[in-house]
């Protein structure tokens, strides 16, 4: 029951975790049916499924999955303990479940588009952080459950740790130069992000990307600019819907009609 209480606590605080349950045991094993272990996204472990190499392998796999922002379905797995160099030599059947919590997303720019996108993403169960350099936007940007950080765009270190734990980010500051400055830092900080979206016309985007390349930086596979899916509309709300749809398409690995496809070459 303590493990179930911990699972409920993690879920209540929107923290991702994996729950592994021993469903059957054959031969000699320190595990017993009903043993449970939680691996939290922070790296913490609670409970046990028998210790040793078995526990380490499952915990390491959980850490990799949870840090990826993906949430695979439940699975049954049979683990041969002798192949894991565990002297007991039996086998353990596990039932593994992942609970995603709220996915993190960072918005650079708390203007009309950024705020509209924040509202849509919150409806999709994202945990949103808005980064902006204007104190006056705080009252509007702070609505909902989102966090707001007011700092200079030339230094995004306040969210550098959060970037690595996020599904992605969206860049729509109040100026092209700030967009370029932020994009450069994001690529240097977290080039592995699944999604880096940047708003802008094709002409603006080409200029910024040429500047990024001149820094000796490689454009990451997760860069989506011009941003959004081709659904039409140019109001803040319509752009937000287009971008949110693109984020979900990337997250679910669904082929879609991306705006960036028109920038080839």
CATH of the domain at 245: 3.40.50.720
Whether 208 and 128 share a structural domain:
yes
Round to whole Å and give the CA distance between 77 and 44.
Answer: 22
Q: Which of 56-70, 77-91, 176-190 has the lowest mean pLDDT?
A: 77-91
Number of domains composing the chain: 2
Whether 198 and 120 share a structural domain:
yes
> Model confidence over 99-145: pLDDT tens digits?
876 788 999 999 999 999 999 999 988 889 999 999 999 998 888 78
pTM given for the model:
0.72
The last residue of one of the domains, among 75, 99, 123, is 99
Between residues 141 and 13, which one has the greater pLDDT? 141
Whether 82 and 109 share a structural domain:
no
The tokens for 247 are 């984020």
Whether 77 and 113 share a structural domain:
no
Element (H, E) at 129: strand 126-132
Domain residues for the domain of 71 are: 2-99
Read off the pLDDT of each residue in 192-219 and give the average, rounded to a whole number. Answer: 94
Read off the pLDDT of each residue in 83-91 and give the average, rounded to a whole number. Answer: 66
Round to whole Å and give the CA distance between 191 and 97.
Answer: 29
**Residue 223: burial class (beta carbons within 10 Å; 0-12, 13-18, 19+):** buried
Whether 66 and 118 share a structural domain:
no
Round to whole Å and give the CA distance between 157 and 96.
Answer: 36
Whether 51 and 114 share a structural domain:
no
| C-alpha of 62 from chain center | 15
């Amino acid at each position: 029951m303590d493990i179930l209480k911990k699972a409920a606590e993690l879920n209540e605080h929107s923290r991702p975790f994996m729950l592994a349950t021993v469903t059957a045991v054959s031969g000699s094993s320190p595990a017993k049916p009903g043993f449970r272990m939680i691996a939290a996204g922070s790296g913490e472990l609670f409970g046990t499924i028998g210790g040793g190499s078995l526990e380490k392998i499952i915990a390491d796999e959980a850490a990799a999955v949870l840090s990826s922002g993906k949430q695979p379905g439940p699975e049954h797995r049979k683990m041969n303990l002798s192949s894991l160099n565990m002297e007991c030599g039996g086998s353990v059947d596990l039932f593994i479940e992942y609970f995603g919590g709220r996915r993190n997303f960072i918005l650079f720019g708390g203007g009309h588009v950024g705020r509209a996108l924040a509202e849509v993403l919150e409806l999709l169960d994202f945990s949103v952080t808005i980064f902006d350099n204007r104190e006056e936007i705080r009252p509007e940007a702070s609505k909902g459950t989102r966090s707001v950080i007011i700092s200079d765009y030339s230094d995004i270190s306040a969210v550098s740790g959060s970037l690595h734990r996020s599904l992605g980010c969206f860049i729509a500051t109040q100026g092209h130069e700030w967009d370029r400055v932020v994009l450069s830092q994001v690529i240097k900080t977290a080039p592995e992000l699944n999604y880096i979206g940047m708003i802008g016309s094709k002409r603006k985007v080409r200029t910024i990307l040429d500047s990024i390349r001149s820094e000796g930086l490689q454009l990451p596979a997760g860069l989506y600019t011009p941003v959004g899916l081709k659904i039409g509309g140019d109001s803040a709300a319509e752009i937000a819907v287009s971008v949110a749809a693109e984020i979900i398409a990337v997250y679910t690995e669904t082929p879609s009609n991306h705006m960036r496809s028109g920038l080839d070459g």
